[in-house]
Structure 1
Amino acid sequence: MRDHELRKQVVSEMHLRRWPVLSVPCFIVQWVLIVAPEEREDEAAYLDGFRDPEARHTNAPHLSGFLADGVEFSWERHSEGTSLSLFIDDVSEEELASATLPDRVHEAIEWARGLPGKIMRAIQIRVVADDAAAERLLPHMDFLRSELISCNFGGAPRMWGDFRLKDDGFGKLVVAANGTDLRDFSRLVQRLQDLDNYRNRALLGLPTAQKAWPKLDAVGVRLAEVAARIAGDEAKDDILLEQLSTYSAELNAIANAIDYRLSATAAYAQLVNERLEQLRVTPIDGYASLVDFTQRRFLPAIRTCAAVKDRQLGLSARAERAASLLRARISTRIENQNAELLRSMDRSTRMQLRLQQLVEGLSVVALSYYLIGLVGYVLKGAGHRWPGLDAEVALAVITLPVVLVVWLATRLLKKRLLQGPDRRLP
């Protein structure tokens, strides 16, 4: 037996994306970046340049380690970008409430800003022990009370946030452990972050859908016009078929432009729903919950993306059906033209046959006439040699037999030519 070449990668995949066990209180900063393919080399060079002796590489898509005492980081590469999380321990409630964070936090954030890519999401999470500590912290968070979302998740833990960007470019979240086992609590907070990260990635499809919708409307109107013209039979079939081909090409171009993004949106939306179920959200009176927030803002956007996808597929199917109907009509017309052409050829063949028969009859008469004329010269000459021979009477007697012989000879020759084997000329 020998190891499969992908065995280690598959086993390692099951251990990726795990956060360290969180301490309470602590401070978490996370970025979700969209990294272009040409930026991957710079990203790898930046991470390879990190030479802290305590750093540990788990495998290629994941890197974790310590930037400083009490500052741990976790970096992970995704198909569309990367995520970077900083975990700062030993932070007091006063430091969490202060607008000025400790120097080690600023240094870690500055190091993280050196990574290439565009920020898709940046969040600061302040983790406290219980609801009482969170209530003391909330007045310093600049949350909009009218849009504040708060609920329990996974049992006792509770979160607060308004999911708005603040002046420093970060979103802010407050989470209270409320006596939950720290290992379970760490997994729950990570799922909460996954929910928000997948939600933002899913919403990337909304601008694409909004941009594609007017294009689909325009193509839909033109398809309806062509369908009406096909039913009316005023326009030429080749012109209509050319127009349908053009519209089908436009639909294919739109599909190529939106397919990947909207398919990714559907996949991320499914992950969002799964995370919501795993978090077991419990609403709190006076506050909107994560489920309320998702249903009110996220689901309409996802349904818009799904509607655009369905509309594109529907228009493509309509264009294909219209083209099929038009091709069927063209084929029917061609068949009718071919049938009429065959009938015309049959009439022409019959006419040619009748003319041929007429020519054959005239040929028999002509040949008989010339043959009788030759025989007449012979009989007239013989009348001089034998005075008792009446040449005119003899000609009258042999005329019918000569005509009959010529006619029989012509029929026999025609039969041999039509029924005889084909003979190639040398």
Structure 2
Amino acid sequence: MTTTNPYQLSIHPQRDALYAELHSRQFQVIKSPSRVSYLAIMLDSEGKLADFLHFCDLFRRYGLVPPAEDGACLEFEVNDIRIRRETHSEFVSYLVINEGGPFLRDPFATTSLQTLPPNWVANMVGVVVAAFHLAVEDAREQVEPELAEVKSFFEGMRLVGSQPQSGDAQLWTSFQLHSDGCGRFLVYNRNMSDSQLGRMVRRIIEIESYRLIALLGLPMAREYSRQLSSMDDKLASMTSLLSENTLKQDEPELLAKLIDMAAWVEDARAKCTYRFSATIAYHELVLKRLQELKEDEVSGHLTLTEFMTRRLTPAVRTCKTTNEHLESLSTRIDRVSDMMRTKVEMSIQAQNQHLLASMDRRSKIQLAMQHTVEGLSVAAISYYSVGLVKHLIEAVYEQGVSFDKSLVVGLSVPLIVGGVWFTTRRIHKGFLKLAKGQ
């Protein structure tokens, strides 16, 4: 909706959308008597698009112009039939209200779903998670039937009942599926306006649909609970091995097992975290809607709140406990992995120290060998140097220079050996100085 701006103010571009959000799913105004049918269908993003196109086909079947685009809530009315489609985070819901009758003595003999084209209902996409009928009768115009007759409306199943809104209505249900594959709720309006009745019906619908979607996490919780017990035992066994310092264990093998366990836990968390979080959120919504019903007890029967507290709450706690168990196991695996890595690193450091000590010993041996070779090299070089000097002395002597060749050669030997040794040491010191500089 576009509003005028006579004050020439700078308006946030999403202001109109923020105002419209609170009115996107208005409460229905429901008359007494009427028949209501509800479907909640699980869909992904692609499925929601296909469902919207299927919903547009319903407009065309009734000769109406379909909406141009999908929205949070779409609704149209044909004669006395109202059809409402709402999109939620993970499902799409359909609410069909028939206020025109004809209504039989058996409130579930005819349902609102039967007013829709049968082949259209059969061709709906997605999987149905909640499907139930809600019959509204006017207790101000007809006498409420005896309990035995009410029970016959629910095919003899055990009833759960209460008097919502401080006794202004009588509510019956069985929280079970009946012969048509749907649940049933029966409401007798004693002293409620159409608006009040619409709000109460909305709360009943949300209680039933949300509690079913909340329970989607229970099978997953049960499955992973069994596996988590086995994982706990494995982790305890590994931790025990780590605590036994005298045990010669294969640390890399244990670390590989821990990595496999960590990968399994992270995969389980990726699959379960959203479902368990959704379960907790839907459960909170159910409890809030139950409080809003303001139930009074019916003698001999559980109220909706008592039934939910006794049955739904333990299931939600199982999901919550499993989720916490996964988080706890992940944390413990991280701690054990840290200890394992520390142990492996310490082992590697010990090996490195042993290797360095061995290298140091080898270096000392090589140095001693080098000094030995150095001495031999001085002797060898001196020997060949003396030979060369001897040839030089003989050449000078043959040229007529008179001297004692043996004496000169003998005197040159210590000088040559000392010169070779001094030169070798100088070269060795030069290499050491170069190594220290690097």
**1:217 maps to 2:229:** yes
What's the CA shift string for 1:210-248, capped at 9, x where partnerless?
A: 233333334444434444444555443332233233333
Deviation at 1:133, TM superposition (A): 5.0
**Residue 58 and residue 150 in structure 1: after superposition, are their counterparts in 2 closer, same or farther (change >3 A)?**
farther
The answer to whether the Cα contact below 8 Å between 1:125 and 1:174 also exists between their aligned partners in 2 is: yes
**1:286 maps to 2:300:** yes
**1:83 maps to 2:93:** yes
Paired letter, 2:213: R
Which of 11, 25, 40 aligns to 1:32? It is 40
Which of 398, 405, 408 aligns to 2:422? It is 408
Identical aligned residues as a percent = 26
Which of 315, 321, 333 aligns to 2:329? It is 315
Which of 254, 268, 271 aligns to 1:257? It is 271
Counterparts of 1:17 and 1:96, CA distance in 2: 32
Counterparts of 1:117 and 1:382, CA distance in 2: 119
Normalised by the length of structure 2, the TM-score is 0.80
Paired letter, 1:191: R
The aligned counterpart of 2:4 is none
Q: Secondary structure at the match of 1:135?
A: coil
The aligned counterpart of 2:163 is 152
Deviation at 1:292, TM superposition (A): 0.9
The aligned counterpart of 2:6 is none
The answer to whether the Cα contact below 8 Å between 2:155 and 2:178 also exists between their aligned partners in 1 is: no
- 1:230-245 matches, cutoff 5 A: 230-232=242-244, 233-245=247-259
Counterparts of 2:177 and 2:140, CA distance in 1: 24
Paired letter, 1:151: S
The answer to whether the Cα contact below 8 Å between 1:55 and 1:64 also exists between their aligned partners in 2 is: no
Paired letter, 2:374: E
**1:331 maps to 2:345:** yes
Counterparts of 2:67 and 2:151, CA distance in 1: 35
The aligned counterpart of 2:127 is 118
Paired letter, 1:277: Q
**Residue 84 and residue 113 in structure 1: after superposition, are their counterparts in 2 closer, same or farther (change >3 A)?**
same
The aligned counterpart of 2:187 is 175
Counterparts of 1:157 and 1:398, CA distance in 2: 133
RMSD over aligned Cα atoms: 3.8
Deviation at 1:343, TM superposition (A): 1.7
Give unpaired runs (5+ residues) of structure 2: 1-8
The aligned counterpart of 2:291 is 277
Paired letter, 2:224: A
The answer to whether the Cα contact below 8 Å between 2:167 and 2:296 also exists between their aligned partners in 1 is: no
Counterparts of 1:408 and 1:118, CA distance in 2: 97
Normalised by the length of structure 1, the TM-score is 0.81
Paired letter, 1:206: L
Give unpaired runs (5+ residues) of structure 1: none
**1:45 maps to 2:56:** no
What's the CA shift string for 1:332-357, capped at 9, x where partnerless?
A: 22222222222222222222222222
Counterparts of 1:188 and 1:368, CA distance in 2: 116
- Number of residue-to-residue matches in the alignment: 418
Counterparts of 1:262 and 1:6, CA distance in 2: 32
Deviation at 1:144, TM superposition (A): 7.9
Deviation at 1:140, TM superposition (A): 4.1
Deviation at 1:199, TM superposition (A): 0.5
The answer to whether the Cα contact below 8 Å between 2:276 and 2:323 also exists between their aligned partners in 1 is: yes
Paired letter, 1:216: L
